[in-house]
Amino acid sequence: MNIIRLVPQSLFVIFLMASCKSKQEKTQPTVENISESVYASGIIKSKNQYQVYASVNGIIKKILVTEGDVVKKGDILAIILNETSKLNADNARLTADYSALSANMDKLNELKVNLDFAKSKVANDSLLMVRQQNLWSQQIGTRIDLEQKELAYKNSKTAYEAAIYRYHDLKKQLQFAASQSQKNVEISKSLEDDYTVKSEIDGKVYSVLKENGEIVTTQNPVAVIGSADEFITELQVDEYDIAKIKLGQKVLLSFDSYKDQVFEATISKINPLMNERSKSFTIEATFTTKPAALYPNLTNEANIIIQTKQKALTIPRNYLIDDSLVLTDNNKMKKVVTGLKDYQKVEILSGLSSTDYILKPVK
């Protein structure tokens, strides 16, 4: 009785195996082009995009731009309240006006008059001394008269030299004071300029992060500015793959906002410092074909083409077992040597021919 029961069960197992084999998917290797690529996630950024910071702490007096505005380099984006700085600047200008050489010409002219008088006195005393010397040579006059004339000449000459010194010294002091006060004006103007937040590039305002009356510090951005019509994609590449990345490599990009479309870019920059937290490197790619409209912070997925091969023998990647085995149509494992791989296909270097059939592994 037990033997009779086992026979139908054995037949059922054999029938089930035959049925599974007949339904198991199979394929043949095909000859086609294949590319090896590295996956990366990315985000769109405007070219030269940067966060605008104030140079000083203060309160926003007025925001002069809104999102979407196109600005030129040097355009004022915001003004910070700066009453103290303004008063200092006014004071510096007043000091400069007071210290200007043209405002102190009366002092110089007074010394110039004294200088001219001293020069005339030297000439007169010199003439009197020479006359007295001539008289003394003729035994006319006294020795005391001669010595008095010589002493008067020496005194007037000394007074003249002192007048010259005082004149040039005052002129030098006035020139220094005028130059110093003018420098103070320039410094105060520079400090006053710090209270105006300006654009560093020609571009577009993508975000205004502050409002009128809000406190601003040197550590908090005021706005985000970038190129108006030039964009790049910033990609994150795993440290495992970074050694394969080279400048100029082709990148295929896909966007959620552009379904079923693929756009092309080229690797233009590789930042050499790894992010320790994410264990990834940041690279940049410049578009060669791009969507009709792009916006900063749009996300995308990228395949960076590492190398390509023409007319390669390939099989679907899901037919490969443990990266080196395939299942033949007679249910036997066969070892193969693989080459390039993408997300769907793998190149077979040896172990199969285009006429072989292989079975898809059952999971």
Whether residues 37 and 146 share a domain: the answer is: no
46 contacts: CB under 8 Å, gap ≥ 6: 203, 204, 206, 226, 227, 228, 230, 231, 232, 296
Q: Over the stretch 85-117, which tens digit does the pLDDT of each residue have?
A: 666 666 767 776 776 766 677 777 888 888 888
Beta bridge partners of 238: 280
Say if residues 98 and 110 touch (Cβ distance below 8 Å): no
Range of weakest confidence among 104-113, 226-235, 294-303, 324-333: 104-113
pLDDT score of 5 more than 50: no
**pTM of the predicted model as reported, rounded to 2 decimal places:** 0.58
Whether residues 141 and 33 share a domain: the answer is: no
Higher pLDDT, 93 or 228: 228
pLDDT score of 133 more than 90: no
For the chain, what percentages of helix, strand and coil (3-state, to nearest 5) are there? Answer: 35, 35, 30
What's at 185, amino acid-wise?
V
What is the Cα–Cα distance from 199 to 64, expressed in whole angstroms?
A: 12
Phi-psi category of 331—alpha, beta or left, where left has phi over 0 and alpha has psi -120 to 50?
left
Whether residues 349 and 270 share a domain: the answer is: yes
Whether residues 148 and 38 share a domain: the answer is: no
Q: What is the pLDDT of residue 99?
A: 67
Whether residues 33 and 101 share a domain: the answer is: no
∠ CA(252), CA(257), CA(261), 5° rounding?
A: 40
Phi-psi category of 48—alpha, beta or left, where left has phi over 0 and alpha has psi -120 to 50?
left
Whether residues 97 and 176 share a domain: the answer is: yes
Q: Which of 176, 194, 212 is the last residue of a domain?
A: 194
Q: What is the pLDDT of residue 287?
A: 95
Q: How many domains does the chain have?
A: 2
Whether residues 240 and 332 share a domain: the answer is: yes
Q: Two tokens at 190?
A: 């520079």
Find the length of the chain: 363
Helix (H) or strand (E) holding 204: strand 203-208
What is the Cα–Cα distance from 231 to 294, expressed in whole angstroms?
A: 7
pLDDT band at 255 (very low <50, low <70, confident <90, very high): very high
pLDDT score of 172 more than 70: yes
Whether residues 239 and 345 share a domain: the answer is: yes
Q: What is the pLDDT of residue 53?
A: 94
What is the Cα–Cα distance from 167 to 128, expressed in whole angstroms?
A: 27
Backbone angles phi, psi at 316, to 5 degrees: -60, 140
Q: Over the stretch 144-169, which tens digit does the pLDDT of each residue have?
A: 888 898 898 899 999 889 989 988 88
Upper half-sphere CA count for residue 172 (Cβ side, 13 Å): 6
Q: Which of 194, 221, 256 is the last residue of a domain?
A: 194
Q: Which of 238, 227, 293 is nearest to 261 (CA)?
A: 293
Whether residues 295 and 348 share a domain: the answer is: yes
- Domain membership of residue 66 (yes or no) is no
Q: What is the pLDDT of residue 138?
A: 86
Higher pLDDT, 59 or 9: 59
- Domain membership of residue 74 (yes or no) is no
Q: Give me the mean pLDDT over the 77-91 stretch.
A: 73
Q: Over the stretch 207-217, which tens digit does the pLDDT of each residue have?
A: 999 999 999 98
pLDDT score of 362 more than 90: no
pLDDT score of 11 more than 50: no
Q: Give me the mean pLDDT over the 168-195 stretch.
A: 77
pLDDT band at 14 (very low <50, low <70, confident <90, very high): very low
Q: What is the pLDDT of residue 13?
A: 36
Q: Give me the mean pLDDT over the 255-260 stretch.
A: 88
Q: Two tokens at 149?
A: 């004339």
Q: What is the CATH number of the domain that holds 236?
A: 2.40.30.170
Q: Give me the mean pLDDT over the 278-304 stretch.
A: 93
Supply the mean pLDDT for the chain. Answer: 84
Q: Which domain holds residue 308?
A: 25-47+230-359
